[in-house]
Amino acid sequence: MKHIMFTAMVSLWATSAIAHSPLEATVPANEATVSKTPSEIVMDFKGAIRLTRVSMTQGNQPSVSLDLDAFSGFASDYAIPVPPIGMGNYLIEWRGLGADGHPLKGSFSFTVK
Amino acid sequence: MLDLWELASIATRFALYLGVLTAVGTFLTTLLFQITGCRHFTVGFALLGIAATVMGFSLSGAALTGDAGGMVDFEMLGLLWSTSVGTAVALRLAGLGLLIVGLLLGRVGRILSMIGGGLALWSFVTVGHIPDRGSLLLSIALLFHLVAISIWIGVLTPLRSLALDPSRLSDAVRVGHRFGKIAAVFVPLLILAGVYMGYELVGSLSSLVGTGYGQALIIKVLFVASLLTLAAANKLRFIPQMSRGDPAAAGHLSKSISIEWSVIVTVILTTAALTSILTLPS
C-alpha cells in the first residue's frame, strides 16, 4: 500500500511541474528588458479568465497589489494600470478563475533599464 | 512546485471522490445484491463527501487569493458560486444529504437515496474538463464511468466482510458471482468510455507523453490495468474456489480486495491531481 501510494505521489509531483500556463502573451514580454517604464501591463490569456489577484514585486521590496476594480466578469485580455515604477527587475504574479471553474495562477518578469 | 493550496486541493478532491463514490457505490451495491448492514459505512463516506465538498469550495476561494483569507472571502466565494463550480457544489450537497436522509428512513427512503446518489454523481458532470467540451456523448460517457466505478468500489467492502464471516460464505459467493457477471458487461464498456474520454481530452500521442496531464493519465491507466488483473483473479479463481468450499479461498479473496482497495485509492489520488492542478493539453 505504502509503496503504491509513494510511487503515485512521486510521479504526480514530477508531472505537475510541467503543467503549462494558460497565459499566451504579456506586455512587457516575459524576461524582456525595456527602456521605458510601462504605465500598464497587458496579459493575454488563451481563454476567458477572471483575474482575482495581481501583484508586482521589485527586487526585495514588498509586493504591491494591482487594482483590478475596473474589471468584472471573465475576459481573455487585461490591460492593468501600474503605479509609477523605476528601474529594476519586476515580478508579476497573478491568480484567477478559469471558465471551467479551475483556479489558475502564474507569473512573469521583466526588467526596466 | 506545488504550493500549499494546490496540495490541499488535491487532498480535498481525493477525499471528495473517495467519499462520494464509496457512499453512492455501496448504496447501489446493497440494492443490486440485496446486502444488509452497510448503512453506517455508507453514511460515514457520504459525510466525508459533504465535508470534502465544503472544504474544497472554501479552498478554491483561497486558491483565488493565495492566502487563508480567501477561504472565507465572500467576494471570492460568491464569484465561485456564480459559476458551474457553485452549481456542482449545490447538487453534491443536496445529493449526499438526500442519500443520508433516505438511508435513515430505511426501505421507504430508497427512492430518496437513489435520487440523492444520482444527483451526487451528476454533479461531477456539471463542472470540469469534460462538461467544458459541450459534448453530450462525452458527458454520458463520464456519467457511465462514474456509475460503473462507484459500483466497483461499492462492492469491495461488503464482499470482503461477507467472505470473512464463515456463516455468510454462501452470500459472498452469490455476490461475487453476480458482480462478476455484471462486471463482464460493464468493464469492457468502462474501458471504452475511458479510452474515448482520454482521446477527446488529450487528443494526440505527443500530448499524451509530452504533457503533465497526459503523463498522469498514463499513470492512472497503468494502475487501472493492475486493478483489472486483480479483479480477474477474484472472478476466475477465488470466487470459484470459494463456491467449491476451499477453506483458504476466502482469505485469498480478502487479501486481494485489500490490495484492490489500495490500488483504487491510488487511482483516485491520480484522478484528484488530474482534475485539480493539471491543465489539459492545448
Q: Is residue A78 part of a domain?
A: yes
A95 interfacial to chain B (CB closer than 8 Å): yes
**Do B263 and A2 form a contact (C-beta atoms < 8 A)?**
no
Which of B109, B127, B145 marks a domain boundary? Answer: B127
Is there a contact between A16 and B277 if contact means CB atoms under 8 Å apart? yes
Do B90 and B123 belong together in one domain? yes
Q: A65 in the Ramachandran plot: left (φ > 0), alpha (ψ -120 to 50) or beta?
A: beta
Best of B75, B132, B258, B263 to disrupt the A interface (most A CBs within 10 Å) is B132
How many helices (DSSP H) and strands (DSSP E) are in chain B? 11, 0
Q: What domain range is B278 assigned to? A: 134-282
Is there a contact between B63 and A95 if contact means CB atoms under 8 Å apart? yes
Q: Is the pLDDT of residue A18 over 50?
A: no
Of residues B96, B92, B107, B118, the one with CA closest to residue B31: B107
Which of B93, B127, B161 marks a domain boundary? Answer: B127
Structurally, chain B folds into a number of domains equal to 2
Is there a contact between A52 and B279 if contact means CB atoms under 8 Å apart? no
Q: What ipTM was reported for this prediction?
A: 0.77
Residue in chain A closest to B275 (alpha carbons) equals: A102
Q: What is the pLDDT along chain B (282 residues), one digit of tens a residue?
A: 667 777 888 899 999 999 999 999 999 999 999 888 899 999 999 999 999 999 999 998 988 998 889 999 999 999 999 888 999 999 999 999 999 999 999 888 999 999 999 999 999 998 877 877 778 999 999 999 999 999 999 999 999 999 998 888 889 999 999 999 999 999 999 999 998 998 888 888 888 888 888 888 888 899 999 989 988 888 888 888 888 888 888 899 999 999 999 999 999 998 888 887 776 676
Do B12 and B122 belong together in one domain? yes
* Chain A neighbors of B259, CB-CB under 8 A: 1
Do B111 and B148 belong together in one domain? no
The enclosing domain of A62 has a CATH number of 2.60.40.1220
With b for 16 or more beta-carbon neighbours within 10 A and e for fewer, the B175-209 pattern comes to: bbbebbebbeebbeebeebbeebbeebbeeeebbe
Average pLDDT, chain A: 82
Do B148 and B20 belong together in one domain? no
Question: What span, in angstroms and rounded, lies between the C-alpha atoms of B146 and B15?
Answer: 15
Residue B105 phi/psi, 5-degree rounding, is -85, -5
Who among A93, A97, A99 is closest to B64 (CB)?
A97
Do B195 and B249 belong together in one domain? yes
Do B171 and B68 belong together in one domain? no
Number of CB pairs, chain A paired with chain B, less than 8 A apart = 103
* Chain B neighbors of A4, CB-CB under 8 A: 223, 262-263, 266
Q: What domain range is A52 assigned to? A: 21-112
Structurally, chain A folds into a number of domains equal to 1
Q: What is the pLDDT of residue A17?
A: 36
Who among A8, A9, A17 is closest to B1 (CB)?
A17
Do B89 and B185 belong together in one domain? no
